[in-house]
Copies of this chain bind each other. A is one copy, B any other.
Amino acid sequence: MVDLTELMENEVFMAFTSYTTIILSKMMLMSTATAFYRLTRKVFANPEDCAGFGKGENAKKYLRTDDRVERVRRAHLNDLENIVPFLGIGLLYSLSGPDLSTAILHFRLFVGARIYHTIAYLTPLPQPNRALAFFVGYGVTFSMAYRLLKSRLYL
């Protein structure tokens, strides 16, 4: 069996691992938030989910949409749309040998911006709080993409 400790002793890769694990875990908590609002507000998308609240027509009234639930779902989808590119581009960037402090700055800004984005979306805070958080995360990912395409282009 091969020793992989080399990769995991690389500091940039270790930092990427920590920040990615944190932001993916945060994203997973959005599922819990959706489930929480669905249960406390009795708002469901599937008939089988509200079967415990009554029979037949009585249960069907819980098949509805709710502003609060839809808001969490939009925040979750926005996370997916932005964390997937960070995951892919960030991984390749980490393997491309960037400067440690530059890399950590990118990871910290992204993770901070996405956590602030969630707070701004769920509170909700007035704009442009959410828009600024979005653009910081967006800019960080493009900055890493730019470095990759500039130094490693191979088509």
Contacts and interface: CB of A to CB of B under 8 A. Distances in A.
Interface of A: 1-11, 13-15, 17-22, 24-25, 27-28, 30-31, 45-49, 51-52, 71, 74, 76-77, 80-85, 87-89, 91-92, 95-97, 108, 121, 124-127, 130, 134, 138, 141-142, 145, 148-149, 152-155
A47 B126 CA distance: 9
Nearest to A70: B45
A45 B73 CA distance: 12
A154 to B, nearest CB: 4
Copy tally for this chain in the complex stands at 3
B154 A27 contact: no
B127 A52 contact: yes
B24 A85 contact: yes
Contacts of A22: 149
The 6 closest A-B pairs by CB, nearest first: A14-B154, A24-B85, A2-B10, A17-B92, A21-B148, A87-B88
Given A51-B127, A71-B46, A80-B80, A148 B18 contact: yes
A52 B24 CA distance: 33
A74 B45 contact: yes
